[in-house]
Amino acid sequence: MIDSAARNPSTDGTAATFFEDLGRRGSEPLLRKVSGRIRFDLVDGAATESWHLTVDQGELTVARGSAPADCIIRGERSVFQELVGGRRNLMAAVLRGAVVCHGDLELLLAIQRIFPAPPPGWDPAAGTRSA
């Protein structure tokens, strides 16, 4: 469930939509054996937008803010937009240093399940191939 009082209308639509959708799910079967608090810090220049996700045996609660968390995932907003669009994998982003994770790495491994799969027909290497 999302804390609607914590919403900010100036929030970027993609991030807000992703977290609001998570909050509306209420229960996520893929996380039924997971409990913990995850904070996502989206960095945009000097500004940081934080979202807090609490998972309790698959029950999801989402709120804005930088509350303490067991796992903190921090990265540029542009990277996060690729994650929520399915155009980048969370673990690959961590391994490449595009996203930094502090705290409980088991939560990181579990939470990557909530990010969408790549869009149909999407080819990550299409722009890097020579003709």
User: Is 130 within a domain?
Assistant: no
User: Domain of 79: which CATH number?
Assistant: 3.30.1050.10
Q: Which domain holds residue 82?
A: 4-114
Domain count, the chain: 1
User: Is 129 within a domain?
Assistant: no
User: Is 101 within a domain?
Assistant: yes
User: Is 121 within a domain?
Assistant: no
User: Is 73 within a domain?
Assistant: yes
pLDDT of residue 51: 95
Residues 6+ apart with CB under 8 A from 105: 71
Residues 6+ apart with CB under 8 A from 126: none
pLDDT of residue 127: 58
Mean pLDDT in runs of 10 for the chain (131 residues)? 39 73 90 96 94 96 94 95 90 95 95 85 63 52
pLDDT of residue 7: 37
User: Is 38 within a domain?
Assistant: yes
Q: Provide the token pair at 28.
A: 């996520």
Question: H or E stretch including 109?
Answer: helix 105-111
User: Is 86 within a domain?
Assistant: yes
Q: Provide the token pair at 93.
A: 């982003």
What number of CA atoms fall less than 13 Å from residue 95's CA on the CB side?
A: 6
pLDDT of residue 37: 98
User: Is 69 within a domain?
Assistant: yes
Helix, strand and coil content of the chain, in percent to the nearest 5, comes to 35, 30, 35
Strands (E), 8-122: 35-44, 47-56, 59-64, 71-76, 99-103
pLDDT of residue 126: 64
